[in-house]
Structure 1
Amino acid sequence: MTLPHALPHLGDVAADYDILLCDVWGVIHNGRESWAGPCEALARFNREGGHAVLISNSPRPASDVIAQLDGLGVPRESWKAFVTSGDATRAELAKRAPGPAWIVGPERDGALYEGLGLERAPSAAEAAFISVTGPVDDTIETPEDYRERLAVGAERGLELICANPDRVVQRGDKLIYCGGALADLYESQGGRVVMAGKPYSPIYDLAIKEAEKLLGRAVDRSRVLCIGDGVVTDVMGANAQALDCLFIAQGIHGDQAKGEDGALDPARAGALLKAETTYARYAALELNW
């Protein structure tokens, strides 16, 4: 297995890239606060003539998430464009309107469905398909809380549209379940799942279109660097798109990629990648210039 190169400073390779496709949660914030180092690294890349595009598995449209970034103190100069799994998923939902859909997720994700003309079903028993953004209350619920209700949909052969492929994210010092964990459970029950966020192509297609607008020309894919902490989302997605990747090996993985000296251990980072049959050109514990 080829190990990732340790990259403590983005500035060391910044001249090799025109575009950064950068994950959000776990790279520039943890859901409670933003991190100055990663935000400044992106801002510096932009000031040096590059273009940082945020690419998030948030189930809400990007226009609805910008206020959250502002509230967490993420500077606007840290990014030039922003695409989400919600943006990519709306097209899938529109194909299936008017439904009805059994919608699973917190009220804050309601913007995903605005203007699509979807009718709501009270359960999978009355639905034409299922739409999941995450647990209704992700502070206390786990996928097991949905096992019996999801089984009804699987037995009926319903598709489940998952607007957030992430399995878990870090909120403060805790890991919380996301839509991808519910989708995994549904697939284990024999259900069919459709996802448009990372690692799947639709969200990357949107991100590349945004990059082309910023560049004013076609994107040279050899000059695009993906950055993220999710192996089965960010890294696997970059691999599928044949794009270089910087794996942020701390994030949801805690200290698993650290050596005894507290620094990145490329072998341990490589083991995390190998476990999912993925590869990253670079790895770091956090994003810094």
Structure 2
Amino acid sequence: MTRLIQSLSEISTNYDALFVDLWGCVHNGVQAFPDAVKALQDYRKGGGIVILVTNSPRPWRSVAKQMLGFGVPEDAYDAIATSGDSARTAMYMGAVGQKVFHIGTPDEVAVFFEAPEILEEAMEVSLVPLEEAEGIVVTGPRDAKADLDVNRPEFLYAKQKGLKLLCANPDIVVDRGESREWCAGALGALYTEMGGESLYFGKPHPPIYDLARRRLSKLAQVDDAKIMCIGDGIGTDVMGGIGEGLDVLFITGGLAAAEFGDDPVNPDPVRLQDWLNEQNLAPTAAISFLR
């Protein structure tokens, strides 16, 4: 049975570190959630460590800069682990070859195609047309609101060539303010559905948790029993945390808010438990919004 709580402080003293999702928990892609920021600041003042674990395809420094623009101050966290850093490491180790075809927006090229610091020796990677590519790298849709089927012709060609697709963000959708948008994970799922092979490095997959633990180990040695994951994605944050053997606090007011009644601040406990049973997942606790 998942415990429904009203504030992070009800359970936070049981943990020495938090692995916290960003989008939908700390900000909405436009601005920070003040209560969430304060909850994390208070937790850190009490001696806890906050590692932000995000499926953003961006390097951690780019995410840190972006968060400042949203109003998330640096004293709300200790370190950041991104799907982008995890995926870039794999790319520069040759996961999809040296010549890659990129799908995403132009601004993502500048931040993604730079060798990560943790690699002492990085393979040279060049961007080429699809016809010359050894693999595909997806940082996101070219148009986050367009029909995904526009990618089918390219994916059909790539599948026939046997190209692997490196997905820099396993999230399927995200809410930017009041608008829902497609993420790179939707393209990875489409390519898999079409018979191609997609590679993932963000939540719920192990590589990003390995990166988060490495970020944490530079600050303190914390046993897994003292780490709690926080997030609103049932198939990413919750599934990933449980898969790693970690406790999980599920944010009900995020992506799945409509499942639990008309009032996101006060989710219906019965509907919540029934829905979690349907998902066959049992997070340690749940809260409407991080506060």
Q: Distance between the aligned counterparts of 1:264 and 1:222, measured in 2?
A: 28
**Contact in 2 for aligned 1:135/1:142 (Cα 8 Å):** no
Q: Which stretch of structure 1 is more off in the superposition, 149-158 or 80-89?
A: 149-158
Q: Which stretch of structure 1 is more off in the superposition, 108-117 or 167-176?
A: 108-117
Q: Identify the match of residue 172 of structure 1 among 159, 169, 177.
A: 177
> What secondary structure, in the 3-state scheme, does the structure 2 residue paired with 1:83 have?
strand
Identity %: 35
Aligned to 2:113: 113
Q: How does 1:258-273 map to 2 (within 5 A)?
A: 258=261, 263-273=266-276
Q: Distance between the aligned counterparts of 2:76 and 2:280, measured in 1?
A: 31
- Please list the CA deviations of residues 77-120 of structure 1 after superposition, one character each: whole Å capped at 9, or x if unmatched: 11011110011111210122762111001122221112463111
Change (3 A) 1:272 1:100: farther
Aligned to 1:38: 36
The structural deviation recorded for 1:259 is: 6.6
Extract unaligned runs of 5+ from structure 2.
116-121
Q: Identify the match of residue 122 of structure 1 among 117, 129, 135.
A: 129
Aligned to 1:132: 138
Residue type of the alignment partner of 1:54? L
Q: Identify the match of residue 284 of structure 1 among 266, 284, 287.
A: 287
Residue type of the alignment partner of 2:169? N
Aligned to 1:235: 238
Aligned to 2:100: 101
Q: Which stretch of structure 1 is more off in the superposition, 63-72 or 143-152?
A: 143-152
The structural deviation recorded for 1:69 is: 0.2
Relative to the length of structure 1, the TM-score reads 0.93
Q: Distance between the aligned counterparts of 1:40 and 1:260, measured in 2?
A: 23
Residue type of the alignment partner of 1:119? S
Change (3 A) 1:239 1:141: same
Q: Distance between the aligned counterparts of 1:36 and 1:261, measured in 2?
A: 17
Length, aligned pairs only: 282
Aligned to 1:249: 252
Extract unaligned runs of 5+ from structure 1.
none
Change (3 A) 1:156 1:13: same
**Contact in 2 for aligned 1:25/1:169 (Cα 8 Å):** yes
**Contact in 2 for aligned 1:246/1:281 (Cα 8 Å):** yes
- Please list the CA deviations of residues 10-37 of structure 1 after superposition, one character each: whole Å capped at 9, or x if unmatched: 1011110000000000001111111100
The structural deviation recorded for 1:211 is: 1.4
Relative to the length of structure 2, the TM-score reads 0.92
Q: Distance between the aligned counterparts of 2:21 and 2:263, measured in 1?
A: 28
The structural deviation recorded for 1:260 is: 7.0
Q: Distance between the aligned counterparts of 2:269 and 2:223, measured in 1?
A: 28
**Contact in 2 for aligned 1:250/1:256 (Cα 8 Å):** no
Aligned to 2:73: 75
Residue type of the alignment partner of 1:21? F
Q: Distance between the aligned counterparts of 1:167 and 1:272, measured in 2?
A: 19
- Please list the CA deviations of residues 50-82 of structure 1 after superposition, one character each: whole Å capped at 9, or x if unmatched: 011100000011011111000000011110111
Q: Distance between the aligned counterparts of 2:182 and 2:23, measured in 1?
A: 13
The structural deviation recorded for 1:128 is: 0.5
